[in-house]
Amino acid sequence: MSGQIIAAETLTDGATLTCDVCVVGSGAGGATVAAGLCEAGLDVILLEEGGYHTRRDFDLQEQNAYPMLYQERGLRATDDGAITILQGRNVGGSTTINWTTCYRTPTRILRHWADRYGLDELGGDKLNPHFEAMEARLNIQEWPEELANENNRRLLEGCRALGYQVHAVKRNVRGCANSGYCGLGCPHDAKQGMLLTTIPDALSAGLRLIHHAQAVKLQREGAKVTSLSARVKRPDAQTDTGAGFTVNAKVFVCSGGAINSPALLLRSEINPNKLVGQHTLLHPVVAMPAIYEQAIEGWSGAPQSIASHQFVDRGPAMGFFMEAPPLSRCSPRAAFMASARCRLTSCPSSATSA
Amino acid sequence: MKLSRRSALGLGLGGLAALTLGGIGVSLSRTVPRSPRAPLQALDARQFAVLAAVADRVAPGDGKFPSAWDLLVPEKIDANLAKAEPGLAVELGMGLLLLENALAAMVLDGELVTFTRLDAAGQDATLQRWQDSPMQLRRTIYKALNGLCTATYWSSPEIWRLVGYPGPGAHLGVKELP
């Protein structure tokens, strides 16, 4: 590959880098944009706050994975602490630690955006070629029903018994070992996240990827953003070294995610319509554990391979999905079980749906 | 000390500081001490003692399952706090003092003893009240403490065998899609 993977701490303190486009965030959005721009011949720098980790770093231990791969070491939450917000902080972003569930943006949502916000360019079939291209690049396919683990099979059979809509979920995997540890980084390189797909694509086309680099503030000259100041993070990606650098570019792309991107814009005082940081929407997840007579072993097997959208459209009421997430040891579900004095003695027989 | 608006736990500055500082003279000598098994890195001795008391209630142990104290849960939390966002340890420490603080308890709940001096039933009742409190501050502190104690306890490998969990990495073989 002709690109470079650069640890920010190797840069000289106060250095100034120059490129055509500077992309902030190496997740689904940033990595894809960077790959496209590099392949179009542009000089691109991609900044990532987190570290560059590969399958050799993924030991499937939650106490290591959360601090290494997640925003705020897995402790990011709403101000009242009521909702934990799991987002990635690593090269590949949340695609490194998500559960491989892949859906196209629903047609009704695209129609809503077109009707309500005038985003006609996203309506109809206009996005289909792009969906198809990414589905091919990420090997997104329906996970066979016969491979559903027992946790998901309970959801499948329960929905069928009740006559609810239920379907197999599409996943971005290749050579999946069906281990169930998607949320802690895939040690088999089976998960086709940005780390294994668009980032290598971009590197092959000359990308400069700088990790452990936190974008702090965009600087403007008049109405045009001309540079970005960045902080160098220590290997823990949490604390600063005290060093920094600047990137000068013709164009900047904010792809730090639904929380970090608005935060960057607010720090940069870029908020012309006073809407930045407003109307943040979350998909809250409520877990429902259950005890079965037979063994479930919910930690094992691909998570969320079955889903029901029976209750997505509930008119004015909020709709919801029904899915079967992995059974994490440190999850709030464990807290529930402990508080109920179940003591998880029936751990092999417990299942979780959400 | 000044905390930013976007504090780690979203704790209110004025009420928290007032309650904590106002009660500090009352509670200082009334905290039941606990001796850490490792040098403290983020919390002070009093905060550690309160945390240990909370952890005792989250996982008291029952003969088959070790207690949180057996698994060094308070020490592990202290060590993790030392690596977390700097403000979190400060806020959590203040939250622990608020929980322990006799003045706050006397003003708000009619109790005259500190958290660490309550018996187990009293501590359980206090934690339950905080979990269900109409005050967001209390609910937030409860959630943070319970979450940290629970996650640290259940992530301990000593627990896995006891709950029938074989540990990570039990692969079922590669499944190639057609």
Give the domain CATH number at A252: 3.50.50.60
- At A262 the pLDDT is 97
How many structural domains are present in chain A? 1
- At B107 the pLDDT is 66
Helices A332-339 & B136-154 angle (0-180, nearest 10):
90
Residue B167 falls inside a structural domain: no
- Contact status, residue A332 vs residue A82, Cβ threshold 8 Å: no
- At B9 the pLDDT is 55
3-state DSSP: chain A helix, strand, coil percent, rounded to 5? 30, 25, 45
State mean pLDDT over A214-241: 94
Distance of residue B16 Cα from the nearest chain A Cα, in angstroms: 14
- At B4 the pLDDT is 37
Q: DSSP 3-state assignment of A157?
A: helix
Taking a contact as any Cβ pair under 8 Å apart, which residues of chain A between 112 and 171 contact chain B? Answer: 141, 143-144, 147
Asked if the Cβ–Cβ distance from B136 to A80 is below 8 Å, we say yes
Residue B165 falls inside a structural domain: no
Asked if the Cβ–Cβ distance from A81 to B177 is below 8 Å, we say no
Residue B178 falls inside a structural domain: no
- Phi, psi values for residue A221, rounded to 5°: -120, 100
- Phi, psi values for residue A159, rounded to 5°: -65, -40
Per-residue pLDDT of chain B (178 residues; tens, 9 = 90+): 333 334 455 555 455 665 566 555 555 568 999 999 999 999 999 999 999 999 999 999 988 899 999 999 999 999 999 988 778 889 899 999 999 986 666 666 776 688 999 999 999 999 999 999 998 889 999 999 998 999 899 888 888 888 888 777 654 444 433 3
Residue B173 falls inside a structural domain: no
Which one of A81, A345, A347 has the shortest CB-CB distance to B143?
A81
Chain B CA closest to residue A344: B163
State mean pLDDT over A48-53: 97
Distance of residue A83 Cα from the nearest chain B Cα, in angstroms: 10
- At A333 the pLDDT is 43
CA B168 vs. chain centroid, Å, equals: 27
d(CA B52, CA A277) in angstroms, rounded, equals 38
Query: Worst-scoring range by mean pLDDT, A159-168, A265-274, B131-140?
Result: B131-140
Residue B127 falls inside a structural domain: yes
Evaluate the CA torsion angle A90, A96, A99, A100 in order and state its sign: positive
Distance of residue A309 Cα from the nearest chain B Cα, in angstroms: 25
Strands A224-233, A213-221: pairing kind: antiparallel
Residue A324 falls inside a structural domain: no
Domain that holds residue B106: 14-61+68-160
> Please, which pLDDT band fits residue A194 given cuts at 50, 70 and 90?
very high
d(CA A26, CA A34) in angstroms, rounded, equals 8
pTM: 0.86
Strands A170-172, A140-142: pairing kind: antiparallel
Residue A62 falls inside a structural domain: yes
- Contact status, residue B51 vs residue B74, Cβ threshold 8 Å: yes
**Chain A residue numbers touching B163 (CB-CB < 8 A):** 343-345, 347
Closest CA to A147 of B150, B172, B156: B172
Query: Worst-scoring range by mean pLDDT, A138-142, A326-330, B40-44?
Result: A326-330
Asked if A73 reaches chain B (Cβ–Cβ under 8 Å), the answer is yes
DSSP state of B110: -
Asked if the Cβ–Cβ distance from B154 to A334 is below 8 Å, we say yes
Residue B9 falls inside a structural domain: no
How many structural domains are present in chain B? 1
- At B108 the pLDDT is 67
**Which residue is associated with the tokens 């590099």?**
A38
d(CA B12, CA A277) in angstroms, rounded, equals 21
Domain that holds residue A203: 4-100+173-280
pLDDT digits (tens, 9 = 90+) for A58-100: 988 888 899 999 999 888 988 888 888 999 999 999 999 999 9
User: What are the angstrom distances between the C-alpha of A29 and each of A25, A46, A92?
Assistant: 8, 11, 10
Chain B CA closest to residue A63: B155
Residue A190 falls inside a structural domain: yes
Closest CA to A40 of A193, A206, A184, A163: A206
Alpha helices of chain A — where are they, by DSSP H? Answer: 28-39, 62-69, 94-97, 107-117, 128-137, 150-162, 198-204, 257-267, 332-339
Asked casually if ipTM beats, i.e. exceeds, 0.90, the reply is no
Residue A213 falls inside a structural domain: yes
- Residue A6 pLDDT > 90, yes or no? yes
- Contact status, residue B41 vs residue B82, Cβ threshold 8 Å: yes
Asked if A330 reaches chain B (Cβ–Cβ under 8 Å), the answer is yes
- At B111 the pLDDT is 67
Residue A81 falls inside a structural domain: yes
- At A221 the pLDDT is 94
